[in-house]
Amino acid sequence: MEKKETYRIIISGGGTGGHIYPAIAIANTLKSMYQDIEILFVGAMGRMEMQKVPEAGYKIVGLWISGIQRKLTLDNLSFPLKLISSLLKSGRIIKNFKPHAVVGVGGFASGPLLYKATQKKIPALIQEQNSYAGITNKLLAKRVDKICVAHEGMEKFFPGEKIIITGNPVRKDIVHVGEKREKALEYFEISPEKPTLLIIGGSNGARTINQSVLEKLQELIDAGVQIIWQTGRFYIKDVQERIKDFDLRNVRVYEFLKDMDLAYAAADVVISRAGALSISELCLAAKPVIFVPSPNVAEDHQTKNAQALVQKEAAVMIRDVDAKDQLVEAAVKLIKDHDRQITLKENISQFARPEAAEVIANEVLKLIN
């Protein structure tokens, strides 16, 4: 494909790591294709993208926008004003930046920006990470040119002729984590002779997962299990305080794991929430996983994400409400069942799409040309 001028692309959306990290992966891939490409992010003021995107080396502009809460709040009363403000600012951003194309990844900021862009006939693409489409993407579906999805059966949410199954973009360091096993064991200072359980609950942590492990931590220790445990920033102090009296020689506790490739490489079994990004990484890492879907998400989409894999015998799922009684027992059982681990690894790897970012980036460039 011949490039005749510097392309300018806006990527909009965020709110959670599940929106932000795929967006950054798309941006990085576009940059690797054309070094002089100009990429501008548009996010929501006060949300995590306003920190994470600049850390990744990109400029971001914030909109004054938030979602509608399920109960009556001051935020809901101010929503019409926020929406008007965001639409006006989106119009100014588009006028000044003059994008050749826009990409929406879901989240509050994606709506106003893509609405104004499509109003001006600028080519637009949205990327839906989950098996149950978010409200912003559902509202934008009729306006955009292409819709990149990670799951089959998304015709129930979007026009079928616009859908391309691409998978979710993930960090490149997740590919071939098996080759990093030795390095990972050294990094975490754990033994190659003992099974390792990785516990992750998303970037902020998961209260239910943490509480369930705390309740039966001694059972894991007695089973000879090594633990790499990301508690999340809201729970780290509580967890550290409550485990002080345990034998912690085989327990590694972290607020946040930056080197997720090494965490996956060290793990024999994983406990995780069922966010779209976590699922995509686990498919690529090909790890036996027990999902504990968060019940506190729109349309219970994490349960639907997990069920898509459970139905193919590619994962185990424990409901959030059952986790305290069943999670640790299920983890110990799986750690001891090597045949079951092999089945889960083989099946979950079938869902991996390591080229997702490249496919999406190429679709963006096709729209421009």
Sheet holding 124-128, edge to edge: 59-63, 38-44, 8-12, 101-104, 124-128, 146-149, 163-165
The token pair that represents 57 in the structure block? 């080396």
Binding residues: 16-18, 130, 171, 203, 302
363-to-109, 133, 366, 369 alpha-carbon distances in Å: 22, 20, 5, 10
* Burial of residue 354, with CB atoms counted within 10 A of its CB: 0-12 exposed, 13-18 middle, 19 or more buried: middle
- Annotated binding-site residues for UDP-N-acetyl-alpha-D-glucosamine read 16-18, 130, 171, 203, 302
Q: Are strands 226-230 and 146-149 parallel, antiparallel or unpaired?
A: unpaired
* DSSP H or E stretch at residue 30: helix 17-33
Cβ-count burial 211-223 (b if 16+ within 10 Å, e if not): bbbbebbeebbeb
Give the 3-state secondary structure of residue 78. helix
Residue written as token pair 């998304």: 154
Return the DSSP state at 319: -
Residue with the two structure tokens 């306003």: 50
Q: How many CB atoms lie within 10 A of CB 75?
A: 12
Please tell me what DSSP assigns to residue 57.
T
What is 234-300 written as a DSSP string?
A: TTHHHHHHHTTTS--TTEEEES--S-HHHHHHH-SEEEE---HHHHHHHHHHT--EEE---SSSGGG
- Distance, CA of 293 to CA of 291 (rounded, Å): 6
264 vs 43: CA distance, rounded Å? 30
The helix (run of H) or strand (run of E) holding residue 200 is strand 196-200
